[in-house]
Amino acid sequence: MKKTQSAGGIVLSSKGLILVVNQKGTSWSLPKGHIENNETPIEAAKREIYEESGINELELIKELSTYQRHKIGLREDEDKTELKTIQMFLFKTTQENLKPIDPHNPEARWVPKDKVENLLTHKKDKEFFLNHINEI
C-alpha cells in the first residue's frame, strides 16, 4: 500500500460559510492534496486551496489535527492502494469569488456549516469535520 502525506484546510468565509470542493466531478471534500517536495504542510494546504478554489488570501486561524483515510475509489468506495495522512488547518478569508484552477477539481462552493457534513463524500472527512465543528 502506498502511503502519502497531504495537507488542506477548513476555510471560513466572512459570512460564516465553509469552502467545499468537487474532485473529478464525482466527490465532494474539504480542499486538500499531496504535499510536494520541499513544501511544508501549511504551504501545501494554501497551494491546494488556491488550486481547488482560486482563494489565495488566507489567514491562518490555527492548526487543527491530522487524520488518515484511504483515497476515494470508483463508486465512492475506498481505494485501499493508497493511505493518506492529512494535516488540516483552519483558515478564514474575505474572498468570495470561487474560480478553481485545477481541472481535476472543477467546482467549489460556499456551504452553510450545518450542510457541510451531508455534502462530504468520504466518511472520514465527515468524521473529521464533525470533530472540529465547535472550533469553527
Question: pLDDT confidence of 33, banded at 50, 70, 90?
Answer: very high
Q: Confirm if 70 and 80 have CB atoms less than 8 A apart.
A: yes
Q: The domain that contains 74 carries what CATH number? A: 3.90.79.10
Question: pLDDT confidence of 60, banded at 50, 70, 90?
Answer: very high
Residues 6+ apart with CB under 8 A from 116: 18, 20, 129
The pLDDT, as a whole number, for residue 82 is 81
Domain that holds residue 45: 2-135
Mean pLDDT score of the chain? 92
**Number of domains the chain contains:** 1
Strands 27-29 and 32-34, sheet pairing: unpaired
The pLDDT, as a whole number, for residue 26 is 82
The pLDDT, as a whole number, for residue 1 is 84
Kindly tell me if the per-residue pLDDT of 68 is higher than 60. yes
Helices (H), 2-122: 41-53, 113-119
Return the C-alpha cell found at 7. Answer: 495537507
Question: pLDDT confidence of 76, banded at 50, 70, 90?
Answer: low
Question: pLDDT confidence of 70, banded at 50, 70, 90?
Answer: confident
Return the C-alpha cell found at 130. Answer: 464533525
- Name the region of 75 (left: φ>0; alpha: ψ -120 to 50; beta: rest): left
pTM: 0.92
Phi, psi torsion values for 68, nearest 5 degrees: -120, 145
42 exposed, middle or buried (CB, 10 Å; 0-12, 13-18, 19+)?
middle
Return the C-alpha cell found at 22. Answer: 468537487
Return the C-alpha cell found at 30. Answer: 474539504
